[in-house]
């Protein structure tokens, strides 16, 4: 690993900025964007309204409006994606293997093949999220995966199902990265974990409602097999919702018709605090290179691979594991809803804990303990109806793993700047995620014990725990490095991170920052480089979130 004191990534060129005596939290009088700069900088350069320190009340008012409009949209998009992807798991309980003539490892491959597609199409996703408007790309993929699942319902053989599962996975490759991009351009780093965990908790909601929907559809009297009806209805939900989504989902804060110009300015100034920018439509190969040589990028890939191996296996074989406890088909579907509820609760509680502590690594370490202990207990316990209560209790504790992925997402995006670098990092994350989800289901053999899968879970959860600790120390070193770089550039060493603080504390932080400037004999425009589309390693003002 390269030392943070020698890892010096210099920007290609920083546009000149006039350092006037302007408010700490606002843009310079005429912030001149680079020709390939952030879309937010281009809009602010032409903004004719008042430039000022935004108040807590203004920030809260705009944030509440953003929450009311955007959160429901990104929640139902991810909900339908998860519903369509999980429809295979629901259908497995209602005769999928027999009716589709699946043998051997066919079911495991149907579960894994969607992730092969995501792995193959991830580079296209990275490029598309830079070059195309985010909302249009999302809606194109939204319609595509719904239509794919509808077509898949027509097939009654492994070959046909596998082809369309692959196509479905190709369309789904971009959806979670798109959600991360949206959250990063609309909410501050303090607010992002809760919003990320809210849309990610759609996994749990899809498990609950999908189980109920599948049970009802399986008892409908039609000429179709139960699995065909499940696929058709779930796919049609996505197809129908994709059309209004195109009309109401904005591509960027500056294009939101439901915000006034003043509110757009406030929305952008809130994001300035993150020092991560909003969006840039110029693909920068220098950002890609930096991403691949940045040690922290690979540590996040390791983390996401470890937890995805766990979630891939449990997600695909959860209902079958429950059946191995001695449950009937109806009880299996009923009990399969409980992990969904646990996923929702653990996502929200862990996000609130991150917001309260302003630290992600301690929360990650804490929640990782639950699935680690549960996997060990599930490995050791015998099977049979007489052990049903103990097995169910341990299985439900294991489900706490569902909140880990979303926190890793938030931690990654909070510490990555530069639009191309952000999308490339997301692509790397999803390569780790897809490989984990491919490998996970393949390890579940020899029902009902599935010892190989549970052993793998224990190993990767231990690796995850250690990598979180290593990443925390590395980010702390990078923060110390940036203090030295700021002083070398003639700035104050102290740089308060407003983005992790409640807006009610901003006024007090501005006073402290101004006092530090006076004490060190400097006057600077605070966060002036936020919309230059610099990477986190290029921007000495960047504060890494631990």
| Maximum pairwise Cα distance, the chain | 80
pLDDT 10s digits, 194-234: 999 999 899 888 888 888 888 888 888 888 888 899 999 99
Give the model's confidence band at 25: pLDDT under 50 very low, under 70 low, under 90 confident, else very high. Answer: very low
Least confident interval from 181-195, 375-389, 507-521: 507-521
Distance CA 97, CA 108 (A): 11
3-state secondary structure of 324: coil
Kindly report the CA angle at 311 between 298 and 457, in degrees rounded to 5? 80
* pLDDT mean over 241-260: 92
Is the predicted pLDDT of residue 415 greater than 90, yes or no?
yes
Nearest CA to 88 out of 127, 34, 128, 145 is that of 145
Mean pLDDT, the chain, as a whole number?
A: 85
Stretch 45-55: mean pLDDT: 85
Confidence of residue 289 (pLDDT cuts 50, 70, 90): very high
pLDDT of 31: 46
Give percent of the chain above pLDDT 70: 91
- CA 92 from chain centre, in angstroms, equals 27
Q: How far apart are CA 261 and CA 49, in angstroms?
A: 8
Say whether pLDDT at 22 is over 60. Answer: no
| pLDDT computed for residue 58 by the predictor | 92
pLDDT band at 403 (very low <50, low <70, confident <90, very high): very high
Q: How much is the average pLDDT of 483-512?
A: 80
Q: Percent of the chain at pLDDT above 90? A: 40
Write the burial class of residue 11 (CB in 10 Å: 0-12 exposed, 13-18 middle, 19+ buried).
middle
Higher pLDDT pick, 207 / 258: 258
Region 11-32 average pLDDT: 41
Phi-psi region of 101 (alpha: psi -120 to 50; beta: other; left: phi over 0): left
Q: What are 308-327's pLDDT values in tens digits?
A: 999 888 876 777 777 777 77
Q: Which of 5-9, 104-108, 473-477 has the lowest mean pLDDT?
A: 5-9
The confidence score (pLDDT) of residue 28 equals 45
- The pLDDT of 257-264, averaged and rounded, is 94
pLDDT exceeds cutoff 90 at 477: yes
Mean pLDDT of 39-63: 87
Quick check: 6 pLDDT over 60? no
Cα–Cα distance measured from residue 55 to residue 49, given in angstroms and rounded to the nearest whole number: 16
DSSP letter string, 22-50: --TTS--TT----TT--HHHHHHHT--S-
- What pLDDT shows up at residue 476? 95
pLDDT band at 526 (very low <50, low <70, confident <90, very high): low
Q: What is the pLDDT of residue 2?
A: 42
Q: Which pLDDT value is given to residue 522? A: 67
pLDDT in tens, 365-387: 999 999 999 989 888 888 777 88
pLDDT on residue 4: 39
CA 41, 42, 44 angle in degrees (round to 5)?
65
Residue with the bigger pLDDT between 362 and 450: it is 362
Average of pLDDT values for 476-496? 85
Structural domains of the chain in order of their starting residue, each with its CATH number = 57-274+297-477 (1.20.1250.20)
- pTM for this predicted structure: 0.81
**SS3 of 1, please?**
coil
Q: What is the pLDDT of residue 316?
A: 67
Is residue 360 predicted with pLDDT exceeding 80?
yes
- Gyration radius of the chain over CA positions: 24
**Residues 416-456: tens digit of each pLDDT:** 988 889 889 988 998 898 889 888 877 877 767 778 888 89
Query: What separation, in Å, do the N-terminal and C-terminal C-alpha atoms of the chain show?
Result: 19
- What is the number of other CB atoms lying within 10 angstroms of the CB of residue 365? 14
Q: Does the pLDDT at position 74 exceed 80? A: yes
Higher pLDDT, 451 or 406: 406
Length of the chain: 546
Highest mean predicted confidence (pLDDT) among 96-100, 133-137, 332-336, 528-532: 133-137
Query: Which pLDDT value is given to residue 386?
Result: 80
Nearest in space to 172 (alpha carbons), one of 211, 210, 115, 219: 115
Distance CA 440, CA 309 (A): 4
Please provide the DSSP assignment of 273-293 as one string: TTTS-S---S--HHHHHHHHH
């Amino acid at each position: 690993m390269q030392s943070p004191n020698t890892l010096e990534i210099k920007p290609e060129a920083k546009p000149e900025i006039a350092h006037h005596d302007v408010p700490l939290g606002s843009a310079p009088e005429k912030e001149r964007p680079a020709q390939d700069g952030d879309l937010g900088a281009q809009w602010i350069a032409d903004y004719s309204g008042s430039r000022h320190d935004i108040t807590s009340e203004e920030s809260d008012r705009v944030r509440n409006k953003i929450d009311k409009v955007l959160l429901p949209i990104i929640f139902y998009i991810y909900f339908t994606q998860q519903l369509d992807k999980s429809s295979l798991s629901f259908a497995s309980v209602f005769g999928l293997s027999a009716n589709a003539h699946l043998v051997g490892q066919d079911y495991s491959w149907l579960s894994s093949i969607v992730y092969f597609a995501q792995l193959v199409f991830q580079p296209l996703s990275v490029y598309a999220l830079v070059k195309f408007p985010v909302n249009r790309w999302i809606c194109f993929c939204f319609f595509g995966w719904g239509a794919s699942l509808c077509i898949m319902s027509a097939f009654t053989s492994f070959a046909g199902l596998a082809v369309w599962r692959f196509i479905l996975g190709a369309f789904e490759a971009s959806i979670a990265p798109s959600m991360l991009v949206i959250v990063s351009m609309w909410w501050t780093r303090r607010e992002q974990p809760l919003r990320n965990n809210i849309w990610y908790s759609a996994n749990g909601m899809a498990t609950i409602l999908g189980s109920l929907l599948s049970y009802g559809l399986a008892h409908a009297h039609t000429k179709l097999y139960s699995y065909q009806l499940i696929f058709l209805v779930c796919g049609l939900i996505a197809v129908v919702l994709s059309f209004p989504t195109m009309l109401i989902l904005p591509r960027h804060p500056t294009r939101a018709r439901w915000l006034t110009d003043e509110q757009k300015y406030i929305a952008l100034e809130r994001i300035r605090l993150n020092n991560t920018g909003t969006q840039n439509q110029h693909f920068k190969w220098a950002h890609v290179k930096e991403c691949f040589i940045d040690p922290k990028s690979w540590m996040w890939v390791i983390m996401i691979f470890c937890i995805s191996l766990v979630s891939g296996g449990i997600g695909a074989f959860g209902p079958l594991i429950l059946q191995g406890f001695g449950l009937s088909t109806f009880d299996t579907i009923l009990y399969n809803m409980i992990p969904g509820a646990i996923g929702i609760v653990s996502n929200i509680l862990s996000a609130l804990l991150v917001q309260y502590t302003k630290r992600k690594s301690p929360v990650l370490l804490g929640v990782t303990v639950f699935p680690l202990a549960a996997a060990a207990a599930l490995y050791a316990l015998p099977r049979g109806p007489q052990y049903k209560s103990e097995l169910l209790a341990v299985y439900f504790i294991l489900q706490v793993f569902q909140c880990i992925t979303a926190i890793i997402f938030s931690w990654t995006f909070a510490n990555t700047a530069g639009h191309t670098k952000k999308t490339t990092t997301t692509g790397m994350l999803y390569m780790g995620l897809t490989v984990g989800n491919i490998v996970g289901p393949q390890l579940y053999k020899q029902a009902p014990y599935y010892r190989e899968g549970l052993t793998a879970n224990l190993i990767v959860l231990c690796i995850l725990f250690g990598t979180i600790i290593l990443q925390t120390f590395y980010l702390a070193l990078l923060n110390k490095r940036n203090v030295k770089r700021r002083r070398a550039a003639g700035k104050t060493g102290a740089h308060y991170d407003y983005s992790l603080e409640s807006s009610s504390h901003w006024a007090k932080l501005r006073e402290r920052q101004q006092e530090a400037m006076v004490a060190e004999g400097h006057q600077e425009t605070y966060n002036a480089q936020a919309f230059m589309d610099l990477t986190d390693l290029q921007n000495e003002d960047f504060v890494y979130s631990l």
